[in-house]
Amino acid sequence: MSAFHFDGLVWHWPIAIYLFLAGLSAGAVFFAIMLKHFKLADKAYLSPFVQAAAVIAPIAVCAGLGILVIDLTKPLAFWKILVFYNTSSVMSMGVLVLLVYQVMLFAWLGSVFSTPIQQWLKQRLPLLSKLLAQLARHEDVITGVLVILSLSLGAYTGFLLSALIGFPLLNNPVLPLLFLISGLSSGAAATLLGGVLMRGNPNGVEVRFIHRIEIPMILVEIALLFTFFAGLILSGGQSQVAAMKAIGEGFWGWIFWAGVVGVGLTLPLAFNLWMKVSSDRKFAYVAVTASFSLIGVLLLRNFILYTGQMTAV
C-alpha cells in the first residue's frame, strides 16, 4: 500500500486542492471584511492587504471550482449540478452556497471598490456606475450576508468529507470546525502574503490586527486537532485504527507531525509570538510565517483526505 494509491481510494489530491482553495477564499474574504469593519472603514480600498484579498478570493474560488469540474468523469456535464438539486446532499447544498457566495463576493468587491472604479469609469457605462452606486448603498447587507456565506463555505469543505459515513476518520463532527478554522487561517496567511508582496507595510495596522487574531486561532486549531484525534482514539474500534494509521506511522505520519503540526502550526505560532514581543515586523518575517501557514493547511487537507480514505468501518 503506497501513500497515494491504495484500495478504496476514491478522491485524489485535486479534491484536496479544491478544499484548500475554497477555504482560502472564504478566509481571505472573512479577514478583508474584518479589516474594513474594525480598522480601515472607508479607506479599505487603499490598503494593499484588502486589495490582495480582493484579488485572491475570487481567483481561488474560481480555480478551485475549475479543478473540481475537471476532476469530474464527465466535465462537460457539470451544468447538471447547477440545475438539479438534492437537499439532502452536502455537495448540492455546497454548490448552492458557492454560487451565492460568488455573486455576493463580486457584489461586495463592487461596493468596497466603488470609489476607485467610479473614478476610473468617469461617466462611461452609466448603467454600471448606477449598479455600483446601488451596491455601495447596500454594502452593510451585502457584507453581513457575505460573512455568513464565507463561514458556511469554510465549514462546507469539512461537511463534504464528514458526510462519508463509511470512513471513521472523515465522519467526525470536529472535522468541519477544523476545516473552517484552518481555512480562515489560510485566508489570513494568503492576505498577509499577498499584501506584503503588493508593497503593503509589514509593520502596518493590518498586519498587527490579523496577527492578533492569528495567535488564538492557531491555538484553537491545535486544540481542535487534538480533540479530533483524541476523540477518534478514545472511540476505539476502527476509529482508533484509522487514527493510529494516520498519525502513527509511515509517510502520512511524517506529513502530519513535521508538516501540519511543525511547519503549519508550531513555527507560525512561534514566529507570531516572537513578532508580538519584538513588536517590529519585517517583510521576511511576515512572508515566511504566512507561507508556512499556507503549506501547513495545504498539507492538512491532503493528509485528512488520503488518511481518511485509508480506513473503512
Partner 1 sequence: MDNSKRRFLKGCGGVIAGMSVYTVTQPPQANTAEQVSELKYAMVHDENLCIGCNACEDACRKVNNVPDGVTRVNIERSGPFGEYPNQSYRFSRHSCQHCEAAPCVKVCPTGAAYIDEETGIVAVNEDRCVGCQYCIAACPYQIRFINPETRVADKCDFCQQTQLSEGLLPACVLACPTNALVFGNLKDPASALVKTLKSKPTYRDKVDLGTRPKLFHVRTIDGEIVL
Q: Contact positions toward partner 1, by CB under 8 A?
A: 8, 10-11, 72-74, 77-78, 80-81, 83-86, 88-92, 95, 138, 140-141, 143-145, 148, 163-167, 309, 312-313
Q: How far is the CB of 150 from partner 1 (least distance, A)?
A: 15
Query: Least CB distance from residue 120 to partner 1, whole Å?
Result: 26
| Shortest reach from residue 93's CB to partner 1, in Å | 9
Could you write out the DSSP letters of every residue in the chain? --SS--TT----HHHHHHHHHHHHHHHHHHHHHHHIIIIIGGGGGG-HHHHHHHHHHHHHHHHHHHHHHHHSSSGGGTHHHHH---TT-HHHHHHHHHHHHHHHHHHHHHHHTHHHHHHHHTTSSHHHHHHHHHHHHTHHHHHHHHHHHHHHHHHHHHHHHHT-TT-TTTS-THHHHHHHHHHHHHHHHHHHHHHHHTT--TTSHHHHHHHHHHHHHHHHHHHHHHHHHHHHHHH-HHHHHHHHHHHSSHHHHHIIIIIIIIIIIIHHHHHHHHHHHH----HHHHHHHHHHHHHHHHHHHHHHHHHHHH---
Cβ distance to partner 1 smaller for residue 125 or 148 = 148
Least separation in angstroms between residue 255's CB and partner 1 is 21
CB of 83 to partner 1, least distance (A): 8
